[in-house]
Chain A
Amino acid sequence: MKLFLLIAAALTIALASLFIGSANIAPLTAIKALFGHGEEAHILILQQLRLPRTLLGLAIGAGLGASGAALQGYSRNPLADPGVLGFSACAALGAVAALYFGLRAYVPIFALIGAGLGAGVLVALVGQRKRASVLILAGVGLGALATAVTGLIMNFAPNPWALSEIVYWMMGSLREAGPAALLYCLPLTTLGLLALFITAPDLRTLALGEDTAQSLGVSLPRLQILLVIGVALCVGSGVAVAGAIGFVGLFIPHILRALIGADPARLVPYSALAGAGFLVLADMATRAISSNGATLYLGILTSLIGVPFFLWLATRKMSS
């Protein structure tokens, strides 16, 4: 029942987001335009702008939500989020490097390469040491290094325009999400989600601790590889399209835990659904707020919602 409610909510939000934008198009006209009927301009707006943006929002949100749920289950810590493995920072480093060299068009590819390299380095660093704490620690270190190098690149930005481009890109936005991004973002995110869904039963057993999970047949190295691949694909393709969007993976699983229970296996698909709905909703909010001239970036909005939540969660955990 809750699953259907969640699906219905995500679909409703997705549909609503097709009707909202700076061009005032009536819902019925919009639906017709979506299927190629009506004014040329309307068809263009719906098919080339709004639909890809909505689909990408759904995909990226799903990837972030599922990654967060899987990482929290894996580390057995509600404070873990996709950022802890450092892939968002690595993807961002790749993208920023592209912007530094003026390769605006290659930002997504560089971001994907960054996430892929990050995943490779992490697996090489951790090797057969199968403790979750080792992976998380290495991930945090990797992320910090990538962030430092990103800072270095900004430090030596060739001109103010490159710097401002980098800064805006890092705020995260679906503004430039076009049909081309769908071609790589959807398949990569789907693969990533698949890898994360496969880990779900093992994450449930892992609730008993690493030793007991192993005694029940869970292979920690296999789980780790699937998790790294899944998170790298979801986060890498998300950052490639939209830049840095933080905290979705942190608070979506946590809110769901209050609604559907703490089963780490169920939380992965549910968080994918809720993350998808939330990100499109947040994107609609940025469009609504931005329409008076100034632009509100999606990454800023999710962080503005996420950080207070994070602080509340962290202090509550400390006091309990």
Chain B
Amino acid sequence: MTALAFTALTAGYGGKTVIRELDGEAQGGEFIALLGPNGCGKSTLLKSLAGILASSGHITSNETNVRSISAVKRARHISYLAQQRDMVWPISVRDVIALGRAPYRGPLGKISAEGQAKIEAVIHRLGLSEFAERSILELSGGEAARALLARALVVDAPLLLADEPFASLDPAAQIQMTEILKAEAESGKTVIAAMHDLALAQHYADQIWLMKDGIFIAKGSPDAVLTDENLVQAFGIHPPKGGFSLPRIAKA
């Protein structure tokens, strides 16, 4: 079964069309990097797929029409990590992560033992144990981003849509976050992440979807997409000689 398929997906804001007639397909276990210049429609595509933004066209996930299921069912199926990370209330990291279990809450708001176990597991896995009781407002940008990623992972949905999860993070944090997303994909999930770092995309993505002005100009393996011609068309840049290279994380 195809984890995600969409055809003729069109969406925009206030009468202005941002993405036009997009078709795409993703399988379980795939990590897809969504690339393109600012304003090309990456966020609009992710919001449409997440059901946050009204759109036209078909979206199916595992043969199910995503529009025909309830918002709560959809929420269990598609996890969405927003680009904006503005938290206003001083809520503990553990409580923020627990919000990811909202689609599974009972009528009295209780989180099941299974849900609690998932919360503890993700806190441990993302190395958040020492911050778990701290207010999210007290964390550094990188720590807060990791906590919010944990919030998105704890939904445990087969499909994860992440909108620039590494924006404003330092290089080491970017690599760590990408590795977490890659591991998530390797566990059988489908991960689609909008990003700007071409080297990260080249090294970690199974597929790259390259956008410009609301349409895909290329889709496929990193080597097939990150060509001189495509990069000039999308960003007006040539790829570096010798290919994209990533810094390596030093052993502590």
**Stretch of B95-103, B119-127, B220-228, B235-243 at the chain-chain interface:** B95-103
Shortest C-beta distance, A99 to chain B (Å), equals 40
Assess whether B75 is in contact with A77, with CB atoms less than 8 Å apart.
no
Number of interface residues of A (CB under 8 A): 23
The listed residue (A204, A209, A216) touching B75 by CB distance below 8 A is: A216
Assess whether B87 is in contact with A215, with CB atoms less than 8 Å apart.
no
Determine the residue in chain B with the shortest Cβ distance to A208.
B99
Assess whether A215 is in contact with B79, with CB atoms less than 8 Å apart.
yes
Assess whether A205 is in contact with B79, with CB atoms less than 8 Å apart.
no
With a cutoff of 8 Å between Cβ atoms, the chain A residues found around residue B148 in the complex are: 208
Q: From residue 41 to 83 of chain B, which have CB atoms closer than 8 A to chain A?
A: 47, 50-52, 70-72, 74-76, 78-82
Scoring B70, B82, B95 by chain A CB atoms within 10 A of each residue's CB, the highest score goes to: B82
B189 at interface by CB-CB < 8 Å: no
Contact A211 to B79, CB < 8 A, known contacts A216-B102, A216-B103: no
Contact A211 to B52, CB < 8 A, known contacts A76-B88, A262-B91, A265-B109: yes
B188 at interface by CB-CB < 8 Å: no
Q: Chain A 180-208, CB within 8 Å of chain B: the 1/0 string?
A: 00000000000000000000110011011
Assess whether A211 is in contact with B88, with CB atoms less than 8 Å apart.
no
Q: How far, in angstroms, from A209 to B96 measured CA to CA in the complex? A: 12
The listed residue (A201, A209, A214, A257) touching B86 by CB distance below 8 A is: A209
Q: How far, in angstroms, from A218 to B82 measured CA to CA in the complex? A: 15
With a cutoff of 8 Å between Cβ atoms, the chain B residues found around residue A257 in the complex are: 89
The listed residue (B47, B71, B87, B99) touching A219 by CB distance below 8 A is: B71
Shortest C-beta distance, A136 to chain B (Å), equals 14
Contact A264 to B89, CB < 8 A, known contacts A201-B109, A216-B155: yes
The interface residues of chain B, by DSSP majority, are classed as: mixed
Assess whether B71 is in contact with A209, with CB atoms less than 8 Å apart.
no
B84 at interface by CB-CB < 8 Å: yes
Q: How far, in angstroms, from A262 to B78 measured CA to CA in the complex? A: 28
The listed residue (A201, A215, A218, A263) touching B91 by CB distance below 8 A is: A263
Contact A212 to B82, CB < 8 A, known contacts A201-B102, A201-B105, A219-B71: yes
With a cutoff of 8 Å between Cβ atoms, the chain A residues found around residue B70 in the complex are: 217
Determine the residue in chain B with the shortest Cβ distance to A216.
B102
B90 at interface by CB-CB < 8 Å: yes
Assess whether B71 is in contact with A217, with CB atoms less than 8 Å apart.
yes
Q: How far, in angstroms, from A133 to B148 measured CA to CA in the complex? A: 23
The listed residue (B72, B81, B84, B88) touching A217 by CB distance below 8 A is: B72
Q: From residue 82 to 101 of chain A, which have CB atoms closer than 8 A to chain B?
A: none
B212 at interface by CB-CB < 8 Å: no
With a cutoff of 8 Å between Cβ atoms, the chain B residues found around residue A200 in the complex are: 109
Scoring B76, B89, B155 by chain A CB atoms within 10 A of each residue's CB, the highest score goes to: B89
B151 at interface by CB-CB < 8 Å: yes
Assess whether B78 is in contact with A211, with CB atoms less than 8 Å apart.
no
Determine the residue in chain B with the shortest Cβ distance to A78.
B88
Shortest C-beta distance, B220 to chain A (Å), equals 28
Q: Chain B 119-158, CB within 8 Å of chain A: the 1/0 string?
A: 0000000000000000000000000000010010001000
Assess whether A217 is in contact with B102, with CB atoms less than 8 Å apart.
yes
Determine the residue in chain A with the shortest Cβ distance to B75.
A217
With a cutoff of 8 Å between Cβ atoms, the chain B residues found around residue A212 in the complex are: 80-82
The listed residue (A76, A207, A214, A261) touching B51 by CB distance below 8 A is: A214
Shortest C-beta distance, A246 to chain B (Å), equals 23
Shortest C-beta distance, A320 to chain B (Å), equals 10
Q: Chain B 14-57, CB within 8 Å of chain A: the 1/0 string?
A: 00000000000000000000000000000000010011100000
Determine the residue in chain A with the shortest Cβ distance to B108.
A201
Q: From residue 236 to 282 of chain A, which have CB atoms closer than 8 A to chain B?
A: 257, 261-265
Contact A215 to B88, CB < 8 A, known contacts A201-B105, A205-B99, A208-B151: no
Assess whether A204 is in contact with B74, with CB atoms less than 8 Å apart.
no
The listed residue (B72, B82, B109) touching A209 by CB distance below 8 A is: B82
Shortest C-beta distance, A132 to chain B (Å), equals 12
Determine the residue in chain B with the shortest Cβ distance to A210.
B52
Shortest C-beta distance, B89 to chain A (Å), equals 4
5 example contacts (A-B, Cβ-Cβ < 8 A) are as follows A212-B81, A215-B78, A217-B103, A261-B90, A262-B89
Which B residues contact A (CB, under 8 angstroms)?
A: 47, 50-52, 70-72, 74-76, 78-82, 84, 86-91, 95-96, 99-100, 102-103, 105, 109, 148, 151, 155
Kindly list 8 other residue pairs between chains A and B, CB separation below 8 angstroms, not including A201-B109, A216-B99.
Answer: A207-B88, A211-B47, A211-B80, A211-B82, A215-B51, A218-B102, A261-B91, A265-B109
By Cβ-Cβ distance, the 3 closest A-B pairs, closest first, are: A215-B80, A217-B75, A262-B89
